Amino acid sequence: MDWVDILWPLMGGVSLTLGLIHVLIWFRLRNQPAFLMFALAAGAIAVLSVFELSLMRAQTPQQYAAILRQAQLPVLLVLVSLIGFVLLHFRAGRPWLGFTAFALRVGSLLPGLVSGGSLRFLNIEELRQVELWGGAVVAVPVGNASPWLLLAQASELVLVLFLADAIASVWRRTRDHSERRRAMLVCGSMIVFVLIAGALASLVAFGRVHAPLMVNIPFLGVLIVMSLELGGRVARSFWLERRLEESQSTLRGSEERFRSTAEAVGLGLWIWDAQSSQTWLTEVGSAMIGMPVGERLSRESLLSRIHPGDRAALLQARDDALLHTGRFECEYRLPQPGGGVRWIAASGRVEYDPLGAPKCLRGVIIDISERRQAEELFRVVFENSPIAKLMVDGDGCIVLANIQAARVFGHDRADLLDQHIDRLVPELRAERSHRGVWVMDTPGIPPARELPGYRKDGSNVPIEVTVSPIVVDGKQFVLASIHDISKRVSIQNEVAVQREELTHLSRIALLGEMSGSLAHELNQPLTAVLSNAQAALRFLDNDRPDLHEVHACLTQIVESDKRAGEIIRRLRAMLRKEQVSYEELQVNDVVHDVLRLINSDLLNRNVSVRLNLASPLPSVSGDRVQLQQVLLNLVINACDAMDQIETDRALAILTRSTEDPGVEILVSDVGRGIPPDDLEGVFAPFTTSKPQGLGLGLAVCRTIIHAHHGTLVAVNNPGVGATLKILLPACSAGSDEAFRNAPGSREFQKSS
pLDDT: is 236 or 308 the higher one? 308
| pLDDT tens, residue by residue, 174-209 | 887 888 888 888 888 888 888 888 788 788 777 777
Number of domains in the chain: 5
> Within a 10 A sphere around the Cβ of 230, how many other Cβ atoms?
24
Assigned domain for 277 exists? yes
At 367 the pLDDT is 82
Helices 72-85, 34-56: crossing angle, 10 deg rounding: 150
The residue range of the domain holding 508 is 485-579
Q: Which of 38-47, 81-90, 520-529, 590-599 has the lowest mean pLDDT?
A: 520-529
Are 653 and 563 in a shared domain? no
Assigned domain for 380 exists? no
Assigned domain for 244 exists? no
- Domain termination residue (choose one: 530, 558, 579): 579
Q: Three-class SS of residue 480?
A: strand
Q: Which residues contact 560 (CB under 8 A, 6 or more apart)?
A: 525, 526, 528, 529, 532
| pLDDT tens, residue by residue, 716-744 | 888 888 999 999 999 864 333 333 333 33
Are 207 and 299 in a shared domain? no
Assigned domain for 390 exists? yes
Are 538 and 642 in a shared domain? no
Q: How many CA atoms lie within 13 A of 6 on its CB side?
A: 5
358 and 275 in contact (C-beta within 8 Å)?
no
Are 717 and 610 in a shared domain? yes
At 497 the pLDDT is 73
Distances from the Cα of 668 to the Cα of 340, 449, 638, 671, angstroms:
79, 41, 7, 9
In 306-424, alpha helices (H): 308-320, 369-384, 403-409, 413-416
Which of 144, 583, 91, 96 is closest to 355 using CA atoms? 91
Are 368 and 395 in a shared domain? no
**Omega of the bond prior to 212 within 30 degrees of 0, cis?**
no
When pLDDT is averaged across residues 35-63 and rounded to a whole number, the result is 83
Give the 3-state DSSP-derived string for 270-338, with helices as H, strands as E and coil as C: EEEECCCCCEEECHHHHHHHCCCCCCCECHHHHHHHCCHHHHHHHHHHHHHHHHHHCEEEEEEEEECCC
Assigned domain for 257 exists? no
104 and 154 in contact (C-beta within 8 Å)?
yes
At 723 the pLDDT is 92
CA–chain centroid gap for 412, Å, is 27
**What is the C-alpha separation between 322 and 319, in angstroms, rounded?**
5
| pLDDT tens, residue by residue, 245-288 | 666 666 565 556 555 655 555 677 878 888 888 887 877 777 77
Are 361 and 477 in a shared domain? no
The CATH number linked to 590 is: 3.30.565.10
**What is the C-alpha separation between 218 and 81, in angstroms, rounded?**
16
416 and 390 in contact (C-beta within 8 Å)?
yes
**What is the C-alpha separation between 549 and 556, in angstroms, rounded?**
11
| pLDDT tens, residue by residue, 223-232 | 777 777 766 6
| pLDDT tens, residue by residue, 589-611 | 989 888 876 776 777 778 889 99
Kindly state the percentage of the chain with pLDDT values over 90. Answer: 5
Are 542 and 520 in a shared domain? yes
Are 546 and 621 in a shared domain? no
- Domain termination residue (choose one: 434, 463, 484): 484
Are 226 and 173 in a shared domain? yes
Are 56 and 179 in a shared domain? yes
Assigned domain for 14 exists? yes
When pLDDT is averaged across residues 541-558 and rounded to a whole number, the result is 78
At 655 the pLDDT is 93
Distances from the Cα of 119 to the Cα of 91, 144, 191, angstroms:
32, 11, 21
Which of 332, 323, 327 is closest to 363 using CA atoms? 327
641 and 678 in contact (C-beta within 8 Å)?
no
**What is the C-alpha separation between 406 and 382, in angstroms, rounded?**
13
Assigned domain for 198 exists? yes
Can you point out the beta strands (E) in 412-548?
Answer: 449-454, 460-472, 475-484
Q: Which residues contact 147 (CB under 8 A, 6 or more apart)?
A: 122
The CATH number linked to 289 is: 3.30.450.20
When pLDDT is averaged across residues 408-426 and rounded to a whole number, the result is 78
**What is the C-alpha separation between 600 and 520, in angstroms, rounded?**
7
DSSP 528: H
Give the number of residues written for the chain.
752
Q: Which residues pair with 361 in a beta bridge?
A: 272, 350
Position 437 pLDDT exceeds 50? no
Which of 498, 513, 497, 499 is closest to 633 using CA atoms? 513
List of long-range contacts for 97-101, beta carbons under 8 Å, 24+ apart:
97/158, 97/161, 97/162, 97/165, 98/159, 98/162, 100/158, 101/155, 101/156, 101/158, 101/159, 101/162
Are 311 and 365 in a shared domain? yes
Is beta strand 583-585 parallel, antiparallel or unpaired with respect to 711-716? unpaired
- Domain termination residue (choose one: 459, 484, 509): 484
Assigned domain for 378 exists? no
Calculate the dihedral angle through the C-alpha atoms of 416, 417, 419, 423, rounding to the nearest 10 degrees: 30
Are 626 and 740 in a shared domain? yes
